[in-house]
Structure 1
Amino acid sequence: MADKPSRSLVLFGDGLARFIHSHFHSLASLSSCGFLSLPESEDERTVREVAVLLDACPQTLPDRFMGMKAAILTLGFSVLKLDELALELLKLLGFQEGKVLDSDHFDLVFFHNYMDALVGGVMSQMQPGSDISSRLHLSVVVSYGNILEKNSHLSVLYPLQSYAMKGGDVRHYSPMLIAQWQSAVTRKDNAERFSFEDFMEHGGNLTIPADRFLHEIAFKLWKAPKYGA
């Protein structure tokens, strides 16, 4: 556990699970990896998946999570080069020129849509032993996008986990893939590649419902009790 509250950067790649490149694999080899399960739904896919991931509800994030300040960004950054974008996202969290600033920062930044090079750009700022690496909690989440085949791989997980016991129609195929890394804080599992097969066989986090993801992040930021505690 960190001795100071962390700050969280979440990179969400909508429909990119089939287009994984080298920086994703580098991240997976350092991270704690697993799945986020989604409910069955006929609603518009992209809006639904983002809403589930953020556990959207009328109550504001500061009210739900002890005053947590969050920025949610999507697209609109094409005028920036990827290395500049990585630095701008970190600056929103108070990480600048290798230092941790304690004023005028967000606790959580959620960025929708990104590329492999952006993951590499953020990782390059998280060198072991640096101030940033000990305070930045990085989550990379990717989804499969539009699904044509329904392979129930997750239904073979045993014993049953909370996601399977939750009310509602939980789907057992094509979950979101997630890798989380914070130097000296997150546990490293045996996954070496950012893939469904490697996470299934070697991931350490198995599966949680996607709508509990934000609660897990808030816990890492000292803004909520541990989910399930």
Structure 2
Amino acid sequence: MADKPARALVIYGDGLMSALHSHLHALASKGCCGFLALRDLVNEDERVVRELAQLLDVHDPAISERFMGMKAAMVTLGFSVIALHELASELLSLLGLQEAAVAENSKFDLVFVHIWINALVGRIMETIQPGTAAASHLYLALVLSYGAVSEISPSLASLCPHQSYTMKEGHVRHHHPMLVVQQQEAVTRRDGAKRFSFEEFQEHGGNLAILADRFLYEIAFKLWKTPKYGA
């Protein structure tokens, strides 16, 4: 059980499900895995922006207004491999997390990183080793999407029981969801998944699927900024 609110680091890779590496499999084996279902998109040219907009649920008021003053930041592409160790350290610093201590106050409660570097995930996991102060107060989430798709496999149709979002209005894409793994020491469950892949999550993942635009509410709940989504 957590003794105080966590701080969240979300790493999002658009269209990168085909470029998987060892650090991602390691995170999947330690966390709780599942899917984020996407609403259908009319214009493929706007896919990148529209999918990101769903993940951030940008159609509502500001994050701070919805979630009890939650302070959020977004970091996007533009870092060299040479600066990775500095980037990993700075991301944790923005959340007030150091290996040996946790600051009482931090610049942000949530940092969203729109970037794809396998080594960054490895560096973060290396810094938040089990037993450190940072490990017990960092809620780490990795989200990957397929990008542009032209077929309907892999599909969420075989998930049982049927998820609640399928019963509501709105055009939802029932294939190629975002894949998400979430991990916080002594807080999240560890499921049976060992690799970061659709088939592995479908067979062994601890979570099934929710709409992508509800993901931010799940994160806010983990940070003690909103009641449990769906409760």
- TM class by shorter-chain length? over 0.9
Structure 1 distance, partners of 2:206, 2:182, is: 11
Number of aligned residue pairs: 229
Of 10-19 and 144-153, more deviation after overlay is shown by 144-153
TM-score (norm 1): 0.96
Distance 2:118 2:74 in 1: 20
1:18-33 matched pairs, under 5 angstroms: 18-33=18-33
Name the TM-score, length of structure 2 as normaliser.
0.95
- Per the alignment, residue 98 of structure 1 pairs with 100
Per-residue deviation, 1:153: 2.1
Residue 162 of structure 1: aligned partner: 164
1:84: which partner in 2?
86
The answer on whether the counterparts of 1:98 and 1:125 sit within 8 Å (CA) in structure 2 is: no
Match of 1:41 in 2: 41
Q: Identity percentage over the alignment?
A: 59
Aligned-residue offset at 1:168: 0.7
Higher deviation after alignment, 95-104 or 65-74: 95-104
* Native 8 Å contact 2:99 2:133 kept in 1: no
Aligned partner of residue 200 in structure 1, secondary structure:
helix
CA distance in 1, matches of 2:98, 2:161: 44
Paired AA for residue 70 in structure 1: A
SS of equivalent residue, structure 1 residue 99: coil
Which of 128, 137, 147 pairs up with 1:145? Answer: 147
Work out the CA distance in 1 between the residues paired with 2:106 and 2:33: 31
Contact in 1 for aligned 2:140/2:183 (Cα 8 Å): yes
Offset of residue 129 of structure 1: 1.1
Contact 2:99 2:134 in 1 (8 A): no
RMSD: 1.3
Give the Cα separation in 1 of the matches to 2:90 and 2:114: 15
Give the corresponding residue for 1:74.
76
| Stretches of structure 1 lacking an aligned partner (at least 5 in a row) | none
Equivalent of 2:221, from 219, 222, 226? 219
Indicate which of 56, 59, 63 corresponds to 2:58.
Answer: 56
Paired with 2:195 and 2:99, the residues of 1 have a C-alpha distance of 30
Cα deviation per residue 1:39-60 (whole Å; 9 max; x = unaligned)? 1112401100110000112411
